[in-house]
Amino acid sequence: MGAVAAGSLVAVAALAPVITAAAGHDSYSFNIDRFDPTSGAPVGSFGGISGEHWLGVEPGMGRDVLTRLVRSLQFSLGVALAAALVQVLIGLGVAVAVRRGRVRGLLGPALLAGALLVPLNLIVEVRMAYVGRGLRTPPDPSWGEMLSDASVWYAGDPAFLLIVGGLLVVTVLAFLLLAEGLRRRFFTRIRPSQ
């Protein structure tokens, strides 16, 4: 279950250009006709979700949420995966040195560590962007920046926070489920029948 969920999210991130092209929007265009200029709230119900904007538009900006979210997922998940890979490789190097060159039995722990490091790295990257210290600068889409903007608009338009925050929760849970599956695969001992 976790492998399918995590793999699906990685596939969405990898296919971000295709998905944004299919949506017919880019992540930078302002759609001034899609939000109320006096209040800044999206026009329409639940954040302006429509056939044209599948996940609505950003309050105050009118940028398409789907395209910004997919591009943010692509960047943030890429950073988290790359950082996890580096961390696991360093850990493997240390483990091999400590074990005097023996690598047998290290695959399971390495995969489990990687699966647990991805959500941790993802949360760190999103948190840094949330407080304005992210790796991307506006107008490039950033998950943390979108959450920061959403927290301002929550009272008037909760859909923006629910969609952006919801995908973050799903992504973290997917990799935690992947880690649990790996733990069961590599670390569950078979008990002798009694």
What would the pLDDT profile of 161-177 be if each residue is shown by its tens digit?
999 999 999 999 999 99
Integer Cα distance of 67 and 80 in angstroms: 20
Average pLDDT of span 163-192: 89
User: What's the pTM value of the predicted model, to 2 decimals?
Assistant: 0.87
Rounded CA-CA distance 60/47 in Å is: 11
Highest mean pLDDT among 1-15, 16-30, 33-47, 175-189: 1-15
Min mean pLDDT across 6-10, 80-84, 103-107 is at 103-107
Which among 187, 168, 170, 160 has a CA at the least distance from the CA of 124? Answer: 168
Classify 57 as helix, strand or coil.
strand
Residue 194: pLDDT band with limits 50, 70, 90 = low
Q: Using CA atoms, how far apart are residues 160 and 58, in angstroms rounded to an integer?
A: 7
pLDDT of residue 83: 97
Place 190 in a pLDDT band, splitting at 50, 70 and 90. low
Percent of the chain at pLDDT above 70? 97
Under the banding of pLDDT at 50, 70 and 90, the label for residue 187 is confident
Measured from the Cβ of residue 80, the count of other Cβ atoms closer than 10 Å reads: 23
